[in-house]
Structure 1
């Protein structure tokens, strides 16, 4: 009885609350990636050990090399519809004082494995326009050519959520076309949100559709709040239509302009 009285009551179960996965800037950047890569799967915060493994057969050396991966992550890993790794994105920060100089940079690890890498400073993320230009090789049009038009929702036996940014691969353009057409625009806006709710915007898009640079400038003017999560004043359906047109137009824009020198960090290509 005495022991029962002196026994401490059980400690209460710890209390938790949900944590935001993305901050405002990171969420906005993820949205830009989704618009630039509508046919890709984008996974954030992926351990290096899930992407690469040591190739040396010697057990001791292999174990030593494995330690270089322990606890390290890339900010984003991007896969195609068959879940083949396409490239990684690293958001860099200045090295902390007293950082271990023997740590192999992620850039070197990716280069050794033959994995393409894009890198931007974490405190200076690229705009929508810069993201589209940098990742143009993986746009909807280029991915459709490589995969035969198979998007993520058609590969794994599951339909993607309808709130994902729609892809452009259902739009059939004449072979050799150098600009968008009115027919292509209509196909990119099947619900007619822009045409019915924002007719003045739709009219200008149609007016500029055969002039990729002017169309690009106009679409960019619609997103002056570039770092916001969404453009103010537009419905979700209208945002999806703008994103479709913006991604499709970039391909034609690049055929008419000289390639720009990249202003971000080095890009490591596949070997």
Structure 2
């Protein structure tokens, strides 16, 4: 009884006060502006969780729950969508721009879901022009005829009021895309014969993957013989950009890389 009376007489808990917080710092805002200029026809969303972009392919309820929990807390810096909110690619900003290819890393999960992945050095971010070359067809609107056809085929919804934007579907990398992926030209300068073969195979994604794998030391997993870190970074970037174009034979999914692109 006494405790009940004391509870009644205690003052109400004060509600904390808040103030508006800037979403971007000034340098982040400047880069976002560059990104928007490079992709004027796309929607660019910052700080996106992986679980919003991919979903497990397993049909087992318990396994799906475990695999969804595996994605908790994982994010990418930016996700790029077309006008119909179809995911085009994701962007990560890391110190040194080195892709983490360890088992279970974001890069591995994105590759398993066939999501195109860019990784850039946060201290040396590309310009709008470099990004346009990297994104290729993503940065270019399709012909008006294609837009009209796609708009006519869309179901009745809010999308009917939105102009249809489609992109010419690229089937492989190009030499121009390779140069954008390696803007500093470390591989080209130090190993011209390697760069020449990469350019030669760039229009054949499966052959390019085989060649890039052949550069690896067979007994040392992802470590490569004799290549300095800056060259490794360029090779990894090319591997990541080439991955979505590879024709793979479907395999039985495993526990931590069995994810597919998620459709809302």
**Under a length normalisation based on structure 2, what TM-score does the superposition of the two structures give?**
0.53
Find the partner of 2:53 among 42, 51, 54: 51
In the TM superposition, what are the counterparts of 1:106-125 in structure 2 within 5 Å?
A: 106-125=106-125
Q: How far did residue 29 of structure 1 move?
A: 1.1
Other structure's SS at 1:66 match: helix
Match of 2:120, SS? Answer: strand
The answer to whether the aligner puts 1:21 opposite 2:23 as a matched pair is: yes
The count of residues paired between Structure 1 and Structure 2 equals 170
Are the aligned partners of 1:68 and 1:103 in contact in 2 as well (CA < 8 Å)? Answer: no
Alignment partner of 1:156 out of 151, 156, 159: 159
Match of 1:64 in 2: 66
Cα distance change of structure 1 residues 41 and 20 upon mapping to structure 2, 3 Å threshold: same
Q: CA RMSD in A?
A: 3.9
Shift of 1:47: 1.2
- Residue 93 and residue 258 in structure 1: after superposition, are their counterparts in 2 closer, same or farther (change >3 A)? closer
Query: Shift of residue 67 of structure 1?
Result: 2.1
Structure 1 gap ranges (5+): 95-100, 161-166, 168-254
User: Structure 2 CA distance, aligned partners of 1:145 and 1:259?
Assistant: 25
Indicate the residue corresponding to 2:142 in structure 1.
144
How far the C-alpha of 1:5 sits from its partner, in A, is 11
> In the TM superposition, what is the alpha-carbon distance from 1:159 to its structure 2 partner?
6.6
For 2:130 and 2:7, how far apart are their aligned partners in 1? 69
**Secondary structure, counterpart of 1:126 in structure 2:** coil
Consecutive unaligned residues of structure 2, counting only runs of 5 or more, are: 166-173, 183-233, 247-264
Aligned to 1:135: 135
Secondary structure of the structure 2 residue equivalent to 1:114: coil
Change in 2 beyond 3 A, CA 1:131/1:120: same
| Inter-CA distance 146–75: structure 2 relative to 1 (3 Å threshold) | farther
Task: Indicate conservation of the 8 Å contact 1:68/1:104, yes or no.
Answer: no
Q: Which residue of 2 aligns with 1:104?
A: 104
- Hey, which of these two has a bigger chunk of helix by percent? 2
Matches within 5 A, 1:68-83: 68-83=70-85
